[in-house]
Structure 1
Amino acid sequence: MGGKYRITGAKFPRMRRPRHRRKLVLSAAAAVVTLGFAGWGTLQLIDVFTGGTDKASAAEHKAVCPSPKPSAPAKVLPKPALITVNVYNATPRAGLAKTAADELKKRGFRIGKVANAPAEYDKKIPGPGLLLGAPTAANGSMPVLGTQLAGAARKTDARRTADVDLIIGTGFTTFATPQDAAAALTALDKPAPAPSC
C-alpha cells in the first residue's frame, strides 16, 4: 500500500472492536428488571406463608373470619345402664350372641333378648355389626352403643320402644377396648369446637 495509508515506523494503529453501549445498557436494564421480579416474588411467597400483612382492616378480617357462634349445648346422651340391648347373632359361629351379651353387661348395658338373628339379617351383615333401633335412638342410644363396636352400621326401623338391637355381623372380631370406648364416648359428649381464626 502506498500513499497516506502507508505504515511507517514501529507504531501500528490500535485495532479494537467498536464499543456497543446499547448492549451494555440493555443488559443492565434486563438485570434490574429480573432482580425486581425476583424480589417481588419473594415478598409474595413470604406474604402467603405468613398469612398476610398486619395492615388488614377490621372489615377485611370479619369478611375472612366469621363471628363466633355461641357453642351448641352438649348433647345429653343416655348412660349405658339406661340402654336395653337385644343381641342377635347373624354369623355361623355358635354362642357368639351370648358371649357378646355378657361382655356388654359387664360394661354396664341392660341386656334384653339374646338369640340368633331374624332370617332377613341372618348371615347378611358383612361388617362387624348392625345397630337397629327407633328413629329417636339414632341420636341417643345408638351412638353410645356404637362406641363399643367400631365400624358398626346404623339403621332405624318403625319400632316405638327405646331398646336397640345389636346384630353381630360376619366381620365381628371383638368389641373396642374399654379405654377406646370411653374415649369415643367422651368425644361424643363434647360439642364441636368453634372455628378459630
Structure 2
Amino acid sequence: MEKYVHEPSTRAQERGRRRRHLRHGVVLVLVTVLLAVAAFSGWMVLSRQWVIPGLDPEPRPVVDASCPQGKFSYAENNTVTVNVYNATTKAGLASTVASQLRDRGFKIGAVGNRRLGYNAEYGVVISGGFGRSEALSVQRNAAGLLYVTDTRRTDQTVDVVLGTRFKSLTDLSKVRKRNGTLNCLPEPASSATPTHTTTTSPTPMPTSPSSSKK
C-alpha cells in the first residue's frame, strides 16, 4: 500500500519539476532575446544608423554669436575635459575621435550623438566664457572645427560636435601650442543699412517783373 501511494506522488513531483524547469528555460530564453534586442537597438542608435526623432539632445542656445576678441593661451591637454558628439551618419565617429583625443591626454566626458545645429561642415567646438583656452587647445588638435560660445555654460568643459566633412585630428607634429585666437563660426549677417535719400525742394523759377500797362 505504501509503495502504491509513494510512486504516484513521486511521478507527480517529477512532472512538477519538469514543468518548472521548462518555465524557467522559456523565461531565460525570453530575457536573453530581449537583452540582445536592446543591445542591438542601442548600438544602432549610438551609431546613428537609427535616428529617433526627439531623442538627440538639442544644441544649447547661443546668446553671444560674436567671436571672442584677443588671444588665449593653449591649455595643457590633460587639463581639458571634452564631450564628443557625432552629428553624422558615420557609425562610431564620436567614439573614434574621443579615443584619439584621450591618446593625446585629453579627459573625455560624454560620448554620443547630437544635432549640429550650426552651418559648419566640419563641426564646432563649444565652450562658455571660462573655457576658451580649453577650446583653443581642442581646436588646434581638430583643425576645421569652428568655435561657438555658449553663454549659459559656467564651467571649463568643451563640447565637440562633428560634422559630415570631418575626417581626423590634426597631425600631432603640426599642432601649434602657442597663444592664439579662436577660429569662430561666422556671425549672422546684419541687416542692410537702409539708404537715406535726401529730398530737396524744387528750386523756384525766377519771375520776370510784370510790365505796366500804358
1:150 Cα offset (Å): 1.1
Relative to the length of structure 2, the TM-score reads: 0.47
1:166, 1:102 → 2: CA distance? 13
| 1:171 aligned residue | 165
Pairing partner for 2:147 from 139, 147, 154: 154
Say if 2:81 and 2:108, in contact at 8 Å, map to a contact too: yes
CA deviation digits over 1:24-61, x for unaligned, max 9?
xxxxxxxxxxxxxxxxxxxxxxxxxxxxxxxxxxxxxx
Structure 2: where are the runs of 5+ without partners?
Answer: 1-70, 182-214
Unmatched tracts of structure 1, length 5 or more: 1-73, 190-197
Distance 1:125 1:175, change over 3 A: farther
Q: Distance in 2 between matches of 1:75 and 1:97?
A: 26
| Mapped contact 1:125–1:170 kept (Cα < 8 A) | no
Shift of 1:188: 4.0
Work out which of the residue numbers 125, 129, 134 in structure 2 matches 1:131.
125
Aligned residues: 110
In percent, how many aligned pairs have the same letter?
30
Q: Is the 8 A contact 1:126 1:171 kept in 2?
A: no
* TM-score for the superposition, normalised by structure 1: 0.51
Distance 1:106-1:116 versus aligned 2 partners, 3 A rule: same
1:161 is displaced (CA, Å) by: 1.6
The within-5 A match list for 1:29-48 is none
Matched, 1:185 2:177: yes
**Structure-1 separation of matches of 2:106 and 2:180:** 17
Supply the AA of the counterpart residue of 2:144. G
Report the AA paired with residue 177 of structure 2: L
Report the alpha carbon displacement of residue 126 of structure 1 after superposing the two structures with TM: 3.8
Cα distance in 1 for residues equivalent to 2:72 and 2:140: 15
Structure-2 change in CA distance of 1:76 and 1:93 (3 Å): closer
Is the 1:90–1:125 contact (alpha carbons within 8 Å) kept by the matching residues of 2? no
Q: Secondary structure at the match of 1:78?
A: coil
